[in-house]
Structure 1
Amino acid sequence: MSARRLALLPLLALSACEGGFQSPLAPAGEQAASIGSLFWLMMAVCGFMYLLVLTGLGVSVLRARRRRGEVRAPSINPGDRGLNRGLLFWAGLIVTGLTVLITGSFLVERGIAEARARDALEIRVTGHQWWWRIQVRDPATGGWIETANELHLPLGQTTRVSLGSADVIHSFWIPNIAQKLDLIPGRINQVDLTPTRAGWFRGQCAEFCGVQHAHMALDVKVDTPQEFATWLASQRRPAAAPADAVAARGLQVVARGQCAMCHAIRGTQATGRAGPDLTHFGARRSVAAGTLTMSRGAVQGWITQPQAVKPGTMMPPVALSPADADAASRYLMDLK
């Protein structure tokens, strides 16, 4: 598949979400609502101008047909003083339309910029090829809790998201909730998110960042304040102990093997930083940044043959026996 076709896939994927069409025109956040209102203002102004131009064109065609075959000597109106009324009309209309659009854009941009709340929840999002590292500042302790590829936001509360990149330029976009903003290596950009509707939404990298750009999705869950507090409390805890002998074997495979070189699992010997944190991996909706739906088979396939699932990914295949692969997937699925 060509790079150009891959770049278009995220746009097609935006329609796949729970509870409605994934679009800036179905806002579930204050920032997206402001952008949506600006869109409709532009549509109204530009649509009016378009219809006016078509009307003028139609009138001109009708007049030309009526005058066909007539030979007239050019006439000069003594009242003309070099100013064409039609030209003045169109110039005034264009200036008025541009003034409305510029004013509307300025007011929306200023409103979004001034929406920052002093008590905003702080989240860091770092783009990698091709996944998202997410760190949430715990209001209770001031420390940072790390997860990956799944962003939880509290309903009705402003969250300040600091965006950075570990490799190339990415772009952070949750169409229903807020505007698009780039993640640039060596620079931190900030975007505020104020969700107004609970539910699941889909985010996406909107800047072509390599062959798996289309498979760099972000699951976004807007929780009620009570649900968010419960989720945050669960994220504070270290990884759960194995529930049975198979999961215990999986812990040994993951924490003392190749996986621990790249992944961290709090409460175990796995402390790698190159890949996503797996402490509560089993509670997520998807595997490999939205590439696969979370299931034991998907996890096992991802561990043993990541290049078959997501060609070009930075994760190498892990050579495990069938029993060890089964145990590892069982343990990871139990990390709720």
Structure 2
Amino acid sequence: MTDRALSRLPVDDSLRIEMTGYQWWWEAKYLSDANAPEFTLANELHVPVGRPVIISLKAADVIHTFWVPNLHGKKDMIPGRDTTIEFRADKAGVYRGQCAEFCGYEHALMAFTISADPPAQYAAWAAQQRQPAAKPVDALALHGRDVFISQDCARCHTVRGTDATGTIGPDLTHLASRQFIAAGTLANNRGNLAGWIVDPRTLKPGTIMPGTRLPPADLQALLVWLETLK
């Protein structure tokens, strides 16, 4: 009965998102909505309560499965075979999602969240996400941005509003607004972020992200700048 109800879900005026599964994280591209520009983020989605959502599902490498059990059933993501899933969150809250298809070493640590927000709160969040990264306002944060740009970080990650335009890893434009890092593996705080930068494979074995050893002063400046990306 639930499946039949979901299959008849009206999808007029739907929010459209493209979601791609990677080993082992999620990229979400919010398509243009009411003439507002698209934007990209990773691992943590927001949707407005009461509005249908259509997510186009893609896999970049191996088979993944999109699964948010409190919103819908499972949907496989097969390389070269795009599909969609539709749902509507009728209650505000945070819904946990998980890859439900064994996709390699870190399959169990490939999670994401969907926050269902009241429409006005969602609109404010989306407007913020469309903005480029805030410019540093003090010397320490400015130095941290320069460290990011000068290291391999900028070759793998995008931070809109800077010279970092990498596409291998997650978009970090608003990293500090996210609750978790490493696809739901770690709380987003300074200690975990420092450990992830220096030696990510200790925290999440199998990740393709290399460690970046920095002088302590440079690492602290980098962390200060990353914390401004809200």
TM-score range, shorter chain: over 0.9
Higher strand proportion (structure 1 or 2): 2
SS at 2:176's partner residue?
A: helix
- Match for 2:160: what amino acid? R
2:179 to 285, 309, 328: 285
Greater CA radius of gyration, 1 or 2? 1
| 1:135 has 2:29 as partner | yes
**Partners of 2:201 and 2:110 in 1: CA distance:** 15
Match of 1:176 among 34, 49, 70: 70
Q: Which moved more, 1:245-254 or 1:279-288?
A: 245-254
Residue number in structure 2 paired with 1:254? 148
In structure 2, how many angstroms separate the alpha carbons of the residues matched to 1:326 and 1:164? Answer: 37
How far the C-alpha of 1:257 sits from its partner, in A, is 1.8
The 2-side partners of 1:223 and 1:138 are apart by 19
Contact preservation (8 Å) 1:256, 1:270: no
1:213 corresponding residue in structure 2: 107
Q: 1:113-157 CA deviation, whole Å, 9 max, x = no partner?
A: 332413211001100000000011131335421000101111000
Aligned to 2:170: 276
1:318 aligns with 2:212: yes
2:103 match: secondary structure: coil
- Partners of 1:306 and 1:198 lie apart in 2 by 33
- Name the aligned partner's letter for residue 229 of structure 1: A
Q: Specify the SS of the correspondent of 2:33.
A: coil
1:78-97 matches, cutoff 5 A: none
Is residue 50 of structure 2 the alignment partner of residue 156 of structure 1? Answer: yes
Q: Which amino acid aligns with 1:209?
A: C
Deviations 1:18-75 (A, max 9, x none): xxxxxxxxxxxxxxxx53xxxxxxxxxxxxxxxxxxxxxxxxxxxxxxxxxxxxxxxx
Q: Once the two structures are superposed, what CA deviation does each residue of 1:164-188 show, in whole Å capped at 9, x if it has no partner?
A: 0100000111111111111110111
- Percent identity, aligned pairs only, is 47
Aligned to 1:244: 138
* TM-score (norm. length: structure 1): 0.67
Aligned-residue Cα RMSD (Å) equals 1.2
Match of 1:199 among 93, 103, 106: 93
Which residue, 124, 139, 149 being the options, matches 1:230?
124
Which protein has the bigger helix share? 1
Q: Which moved more, 1:115-124 or 1:180-189?
A: 115-124
- Can you list the C-alpha shifts for 1:58-96, whole angstroms capped at 9, x where unaligned? xxxxxxxxxxxxxxxxxxxxxxxxxxxxxxxxxxxxxxx
State the partner residue of 2:229: 335
1:219 and 1:285 in contact (8 A); partners too: no
Give the Cα separation in 1 of the matches to 2:223 and 2:137.
Answer: 13
Question: Runs of 5+ in structure 1 lacking a partner?
Answer: 1-33, 36-107
> Which residue identity is paired with 2:228?
D
Shift of 1:324: 1.1
TM-score, normalization by structure 2:
0.96
Q: Which residue of 2 aligns with 1:265?
A: 159
Partners of 1:199 and 1:328 lie apart in 2 by 32
C-alpha distance in structure 2 between counterparts of 1:194 and 1:170, whole Å? 22
Selected match of 1:188 from 65, 79, 82: 82
Structure 2: runs of 5+ lacking an equivalent: none
**Aligned mates of 1:162, 1:300 — CA distance in 2:** 33
Q: Which amino acid aligns with 2:138?
A: D
Code of the aligned partner of 1:298: N
The equivalent of 1:303 in structure 2 is 197
Q: In structure 1, how many angstroms separate the alpha carbons of the residues matched to 2:87 and 2:224?
A: 35
